[in-house]
Amino acid sequence: MILPASAFIFPITYPIADIITEVYGFNVTKLVIWSSVAMGFISTTLIMLVINLPAPDFWNNNDAFRTVLGNTWRIVIGGYIGNIVGSFINAILISKLKIAFKNKYFLLRSVM
């Protein structure tokens, strides 16, 4: 079975976001979400910059790099739209449920 790395990383991010929202509040969670989006776009910009730089004479694999990493923008934009929407919905729900449950039953709230 072949799985992308995100299949292992994604299930870890939501519990971490739940804990950050629980401990530090919604405003800090917003900052973390936007920071992760900014870092993703910075890394994608750097990848695209490196792909489009002229390769040295001894390097023969530049076309392979363009084939593998050339669609990075499309993947990142689609992924981050989903991540932004999902993360904000998750953070809002955790914040509202914290108020509704009067700071009790964190495990129940984090599963909802």
Per-position DSSP letters for 2-59, written without gaps between them = ---THHHHHHHHHHHHHHHHHHH-HHHHHHHHHHHHHHHHHHHHHHHHHHHSPPPTT-
pLDDT beyond 80 at 110? no
Q: What is the pLDDT of residues 15-50, one digit of tens each?
A: 888 889 888 988 999 999 999 889 988 988 998 888
The CA distance from 95 to 48, in Å, is 37
**Phi and psi torsions of 5, nearest 5°:** -60, -30
- Going by C-alpha positions, the residue among 112, 74, 86, 78 that lies closest to residue 13 is 86
Q: What is the per-residue pLDDT across 53-71, written as a single tens digit (0 to 9) for each?
A: 888 888 888 888 788 888 8
Q: What are the boundaries of each domain within the chain?
A: 25-32+39-111
The pTM (predicted TM-score) of the whole model is: 0.75
In tens, the pLDDT along 56-109 reads 888 888 888 788 888 888 888 888 888 889 888 988 888 888 888 888 887 777
